[in-house]
Structure 1
């Protein structure tokens, strides 16, 4: 009986050893992540990406960014760069989708907020572009994003929100020092202060509400800051 128990124990021990050996062999068969190798590949791909941009070979540049994104799924820098390429190529649907994917993982990513906002605006998706411009202003303090928020709110007939954005912009001291570009009749453009642009927009909001006297006052105030502001002149004459 004792001999039988001893044999049974030895069998169990050998079985355990065999399983352990099989487990170690299985573990050895699994692919190992070689961080040093990945680092070298990343550096090589980035060099190719930069060379491709230098030589205006956008297809190669995009391909390398896709490889970098797959190899480094947690690094959002490559997705931002890809979105930027699509935006520069005026492929706004692609740039918007890439930027929105980044924002799902990092809602405060300034680069993707900017690309998503302008891409969606270019696609005519003003309702979707608006919250990105609003977030961009809140996170960065960018006055142009505040102006764009006000203009989109005005375009979407959200006049109370638009007036609030405009009044916030008018109160900003830096608004008088920053410029915006507006088209002119001779197919050129002119630079006007952000303050004058905000006052002009304020006039448009009043005009849409049927308050022509307040609209005229706002347009005249815009012209007091930029006397050659053609759009403000047109808006006064349209009253």
Structure 2
């Protein structure tokens, strides 16, 4: 919870700091600005080549301050933070991008997954929902349904699960951890049926849950999680 509060504070202050730098940037003549941009982009590319992430981030910050209208530098910074596992920074950058362009698929993905990793499920959910609406991606729909279930928004979760059962393609797969080093892949439809069973189970509807788990196992006979969940209905 403390990390989320800090993140919200940083959202407010970051916009103020960028505004304070606007006057300094405006005083640069175009030739100087372009020359500095070329040098910083070259340094950024070299830093990425040599895996010097601190230098790469530093050069991206210089480019962002000098070119606040160019979202591609912020997008690169958000991706860099996300790949480094720095979820708070990744989420903050992504949300700044979404303030300008709320249909940026890359920023929505970074914001959704970063906020989920921070435990801010209620803030991650709208980004997953927007991703599904923009792209039609069934994995985003599954994530939406699972977060709705986790937040006990059962009617919404059941609607998402039913949509997924109806629309999942035969070749779509999703992975579930079997151990710290092993993942089991099952069909998206089986995963949706398992989620539907979990929703019913949480609501105390064991008969409906049992049917959903059994259907998931019929689709994927080796689906370990569905088998474990089925035992809870006995």
TM-score, normalising length: structure 1: 0.83
In structure 2, the partner of 1:89 is: 84
**Closer, same or farther in 2 for the Cα pair 1:209/1:141, shift >3 Å?**
same
In structure 2, the partner of 1:192 is: 186
> For structure 1, which segment, 67-76 or 43-52, has the greater mean C-alpha deviation from structure 2 after superposition?
43-52
TM-score, normalising length: structure 2: 0.84
Output the aligned Cα RMSD: 1.6
Larger-Rg structure: 1
Superposed displacement of residue 167, structure 1: 0.8
In structure 2, the partner of 1:107 is: 102
Aligned: 1:128 with 2:92: no
Which of residues 64, 67, 72 in structure 1 aligns to 2:67?
72
**Closer, same or farther in 2 for the Cα pair 1:163/1:31, shift >3 Å?**
closer
Which of residues 198, 215, 219 in structure 1 aligns to 2:213?
219
Extract structure 1 runs of 4+ deviating beyond 2 A: 30-33, 36-44
**Structure 2 Cα separation of the partners of residues 32 and 64 of structure 1:** 18
| Structure 2 runs not aligned, ≥5 long | 1-25
Contact 2:196 2:212 in 1 (8 A): yes
Which of residues 25, 50, 56 in structure 1 aligns to 2:51?
56
Q: How many residues align?
A: 208
**Structure 2 Cα separation of the partners of residues 170 and 43 of structure 1:** 50
